[in-house]
Amino acid sequence: MSGRTRSGLAAGLLALAAALLPAPAMAAADFPGCFALEGSSVPANRMAALSRGFNVPDWVEAPETRTPDPVVLDHLQLLGMRHIRLPVNGELVMPRFASEAETALTLESLRSVLARLTANGWAASVDLHPGRRFSELHVSDPDAAEAEIATAWTRLAGVIRDFPADAVFAELLNEPSAGEAVWSEQMPRLAAHLREVLPEHTLIVGPSGAQRIDQLVRMQPLEDPNVVYAVHYYDPMPFTHQGLTWAPPGDPLAPLAAVPFPATRNDPAVVSQIEALKAQGHQRSADLLDRTLTIDWNAAMVAREFALLAEWSRKAGRPTLVNEFGVLRFVANPTDRARWLAAVVDAAETNCTAWTHWDFSDGFGLLDDLTRLPDSLIVRALFDPASVGGEGDGL
């Protein structure tokens, strides 16, 4: 792209962003100011930096192909995004799985990405996000896995400590695969190690497994006050993961398509889909859809769950973050996808929970497939949720 073309695109995007910016009344009334009002244990300016963001997988591992267009990042920043979560393949900084040369390349790439983001006013969280090999080790040999995590953070901290503590955050481990009992013992030790190597930076931790809200509310907070507690939110899975393509054969989510949101068990579209799934031999898919709809899917359902998270936050005196939420876009109705996203954003902001959309440009992405620019409907859902939140929203 020529410089003239890029500058023209930038001007157009900035004008579009200005037109799309929601008026103050459209956002939750005191978000992200609520972090200061509620006396967060983490400095309010850091929670404001985390308040609204998105994930960019693979940027650190494959910068030659996965670096976002800077014009698009500028556009998203003008809209109100402040934080980018960087999932880093933890196996590339663990001695059991990577050579010293591979680790050095990963750390060099991380330094480059963090330098670029912080120079352009972004906050970033470095998410230790290992893959299958580590997950299997964490289950089969938790002690060995704990040692790998500690070493990984010693290495990562050598990069992170060179960046401002108000702008760069350290996320201990994404979706720990060891069980709840194991993780409840490991997390305090690993967090203490991380605090030793990063004495000033804010840490991000979460419960084991899928990092569900109902798991976090059973957790005791760490004594360290400078910690944000992270959950992931993908309920109901038959809606958010319909038509997934990466699961093993027989996964009941794969045959699902055009599953609506909001929905009830008696909706004609749901009834006909359940019958069609049975007729096609997808009994497990039909049963899953039927079973999860014992509770109506709607914005009120989402709000109830985030209210539980807010109650835990108030009692624990610790701030919270939903740093993954999203809808796979392969077969979901775009309007329903936007309504679900709007419900989550509204519930999060109403309950003073920072949010980070999953993801940027892949299956759950917020870019339009054709233009590779931010999808206007998703932008509305994230920054003007009231405009796409219900039957009378004009969609």
Residue 287 lies in a domain: no
3-state secondary structure of 176: coil
Q: State the virtual CA torsion across 104, 107, 108, 113 in degrees, nearest 10.
A: 160
**Contacts for 139-143: CB closer than 8 Å, 24+ residues apart:** 139/177, 139/178, 139/179, 142/178, 142/182, 142/186
Model's pTM, two decimal places? 0.92
Residue 210 lies in a domain: yes
Query: At residue 135, what are phi and psi to the nearest 5 degrees?
Result: -60, -40
Tally of structural domains, the chain: 1
pLDDT tens for each residue of 278-331: 999 999 999 999 999 999 999 999 999 999 999 999 999 999 999 999 999 999
Residue 83 lies in a domain: yes
The whole-number average pLDDT for the span 225-234 is: 98
Residue 305 lies in a domain: yes
> Can you give the CATH number for the domain in which 187 is found?
3.20.20.80
Where in the sequence is the domain holding 83, given as residue range(s)?
Answer: 3-249+297-388
pLDDT given at position 29: 56
pLDDT tens for each residue of 40-98: 799 999 999 999 999 999 999 999 999 999 999 999 999 999 999 999 999 999 999 99
Handedness of CA 310, 312, 314, 318 (dihedral sign): negative
The percent of residues in the chain predicted with pLDDT above 70, rounded, is: 91
pLDDT tens for each residue of 234-272: 999 999 999 999 989 999 999 999 999 999 999 999 999
Nearest-angstrom CA–CA distance, 111 and 331:
37
Residue 14 lies in a domain: yes
Cβ-based burial of 268 (10 A; exposed 0-12, middle 13-18, buried ≥19): exposed
Residue 261 lies in a domain: no
Q: How far is CA 103 from the centre of its chain?
A: 25
Residue 273 lies in a domain: no
pLDDT tens for each residue of 134-156: 999 999 999 999 999 999 999 99
Q: Using an 8 Å Cβ cutoff, are 41 and 203 in contact?
A: no
Angstrom distances, CA of residue 284 to CA of 24, 52, 102, 291, 319: 45, 37, 42, 10, 38
Residue 279 lies in a domain: no
Comparing CA positions, the residue from 246, 265, 244, 264 lying closest to residue 255 is: 244
**Which of residues 190 and 1 earns the better pLDDT score?**
190
Q: Where are the beta strands (DSSP E) in the chain?
A: 52-55, 83-88, 123-128, 168-171, 203-205, 227-233, 320-325, 353-357
